[in-house]
Amino acid sequence: MTMRLAEKVALVTGAGRGIGRAMAIRLAQEGAHVVAANTDVQQAEEVAAEVAALGRKGLALRSDVTCRDDIDGMVQNTVEAMGRIDILMNNAGVLGFQGLLDVTEDDWDAVCNVNLKGAFFVLQAVARQMIRQGEGGKIVNTASISGKQPEFFVHYGVSKAGVISMTKSAAVALGPYHINVNAVCPGETVTDMHLASMAFHAARNNISVEEFIQRREVRIPTGRRSRPEDVAALAAFLASADADNITGQAYNVDGGLVMVA
């Protein structure tokens, strides 16, 4: 594999599993040292060990992106351990299993505090560090095609639409500092969160999870759901010098689903 990220330092939030784990591993495969930040530190430690097994420096941090002190500590600990931050994978996210008429204020806050508010303050803290370093950087936010089309879990869709908007605004604000900001927008991706969503919708439709997934997959132009590695591959490109003149974009990784949904 091409070492496009040799000796870069990457911070990945929500790195314990799913897309975040795949991002951490892909960046390490391309030469980056990786800090895996996660609320479940045991999961983060497992990812950091995988990074180390690839011959890179791996560090696990427990961090809750809804806590400003945790965010500041995460950035400080990364810089103390690794010396700098070149790449941010702003990936931490949650899903709330409520439809529009059932969402409470607590439900709304639980989703938006992580997916949007937390993502913003992580971006802000890392951008400040990158500006101090004076050598630019790459920020990749994890949004979703749910931010581009109607979404049953409305608070999730709103949070991801906000991430897309944030990406565009941050790209303009940080461009003069040579910091590129882009977003990846996964579609149906085989993760624990996605499978929980499929189970929820299958129960609503009184069918098996397997049948519901099959009905969904036949609508995808490529005929399959994405793997976390599909999203990580695009994220690695956006973190590399190959994407030096790309910023403010939100790229779908969905097998074409957004076009037919």
Give the number of C-alpha atoms closer than 13 A to the C-alpha of residue 120, restricted to the C-beta side.
Answer: 14
The rounded distance, in Å, linking the Cα atoms of 223 and 204 is 24
- Three-state secondary-structure class, residue 252: strand
Tokens at 179, concatenated? 């910091």
DSSP-derived secondary structure for 184-234: EEE-SB-SHHHHHHHHHHHHHTTS-HHHHHHHHHTTSTTSSPBPHHHHHHH
Give all strands of the β-sheet with 137-142 in edge-to-edge order: 58-62, 33-38, 9-13, 87-90, 137-142, 179-186, 250-253
| Domains detected in the chain | 9-187+227-253 (3.40.50.720)
Structural contact between residues 74 and 11, judged by C-beta atoms closer than 8 angstroms? yes
Q: What amino acid positions are annotated as catalytic residues?
A: 156
Which residue type sits at 138?
K
Q: Which of 172, 30, 32 is nearest to 12 (CA)?
A: 32
Could you tell me which residues are beta bridge partners of residue 9?
Answer: 33
Helices 154-174 and 119-133 cross at an angle (nearest 10°) of 20
Residue ranges of the chain with per-residue pLDDT less than 50: none
pTM: 0.97
Whole-angstrom Cα distance, residue 88 to residue 9? Answer: 9
Provide the 8-state DSSP code for 254. S
Q: In the prediction, which pLDDT does 2 show?
A: 76
Whether the CB-CB separation of 122 and 20 falls below 8 Å is answered with: no
Q: Which residues pair with 181 in a beta bridge?
A: 139
What's the pLDDT score for residue 80? 98
259, two tokens = 């076009």
